[in-house]
Amino acid sequence: MLTSTFSHMKGLSRRSEEKLWSRGILAWEHLDTLPRPPFSPRKMETVRAQIAESRRALRESNAGFFLERLPSADMARVYPHLAGRIGYLDIETTGLDPWSEITTIALYDGATARSFVRGQNLADFPQAVASCSMVVTYNGARFDLPFIRKQFGIAMDMPHLDLMRPLRANGYKGGLKACERLLRIHRQIPEDMDGFEAVRLWHAHQRGDHAALPKLLAYNSQDALSLELLLVQAYNLSMKGFPLFRRVALPRQPRICWPGDRTHG
C-alpha cells in the first residue's frame, strides 16, 4: 500500500505516518481533504512535492526509489505493486569462504521455479534474472549477490530487497529457517537440512551419487519459495498499524511443489 505510505518522505517518521492515519489521511490524495492542513505551509509544500515524486516512481514501477527511502520495517510495502515481476533468489555454493563457487541457483517468480546448475545450465542465469524488476533474498546483500557478481561478472544493480532487514526491524531475528519457525511457515522438505548439508550433497553429486542433486535442488528451491511467504508476512507486519488493516492484509500464499528431479533452463 505505497499510496498510503508517508514514512518514506523526508521529515516524516513512522510516528508521523500513524498520526496522519489517525486523522483520516489514509492515502496521499487525502492530504488536502482536511479543513486544517496537518503541517505548516512550508512543510505542506515539501510533502506535496514528495508525493508528486512518489507518484511518478510508482507509475514507473521504480521499486528502488521506495527501497532507498523506506525505513527497514516498511520496505516490504513494495510487494503488492511488483507481484509477478519479482525474482526470489537463493544460491548454494561449494563452501562459505570467499573463493567458493556457486553450485546451484533457484529463481522463483511467484509462479514458476527455475533451477540453474553448475556444469549444466548455470550460464543461463544472468539472462533469466535480468527480466526481474526486483530481486528478493535473505541475507543476500552479504552472501548471494556478492557471489553472483563475482561468478558472472554482472552488476545485479536492479532493486534488491534483503528480507533480513524488514524482518529484523519487526522483531524477527536469526537465519531464514529461524524466521520461518517464528512465523509458522512449514517446509515441504526435512527441516533439519542446512547449508552444510547442501555442500555435502553437491560433493556427493560430483562423486556420482544420482540421488544427491535432486535433494540439493529441492533444498535450494525451498529457500527461494519461502522468500515470498516471508515477504507476505513482512508486508502484513508493516501495515499492522493501518486503520483498515483487515482490508489490505494479504493471505498466506500457497506453496507450489518443486520438481526436484529435473532442471529447468
The residues, ordered by sequence, that sit 6+ positions from 52 with a Cβ below 8 Å of its Cβ are none
Q: How confident is the model at residue 98 (pLDDT cuts 50, 70, 90)?
A: confident
Instruction: Quote the pLDDT of residue 11.
Output: 93
Instruction: Quote the pLDDT of residue 185.
Output: 85
Instruction: Quote the pLDDT of residue 190.
Output: 56
Residue 204 in 3-state DSSP?
A: helix
Would the pLDDT of 260 be above 70?
no
Residue 149 has which C-alpha cell? 557478481
Residue from 157, 175, 160, 176 nearest 227 by CA: 176
Residue from 255, 19, 216, 36 nearest 115 by CA: 216
Grid coordinates 570467499 are at which residue? 98
Pairing of strands 160-162, 86-93: unpaired
Question: pTM to 2 decimals?
Answer: 0.91
Q: In what order do the strands lie in the sheet with 134-137?
A: 113-117, 102-108, 86-93, 134-137, 160-162
Instruction: Quote the pLDDT of residue 261.
Output: 36
Per-residue CA distances from 47 to 28, 52, 59 (Å)? 10, 9, 18
For domain 80-248, give its CATH number from 3.30.70.60, 3.30.420.10, 3.40.1190.20, 3.30.160.150: 3.30.420.10
Residue from 76, 84, 78 nearest 236 by CA: 76
Percentage, residues of the chain above pLDDT 90: 80
Instruction: Quote the pLDDT of residue 194.
Output: 77
Residue 126 has which C-alpha cell? 544472468
Per-residue CA distances from 162 to 31, 67, 134, 234 (Å)? 31, 10, 11, 11
pLDDT tens by residue, 170-228: 999 999 999 999 998 887 765 567 778 899 999 999 999 999 999 999 999 999 999 99
Residue from 132, 104, 119 nearest 218 by CA: 104
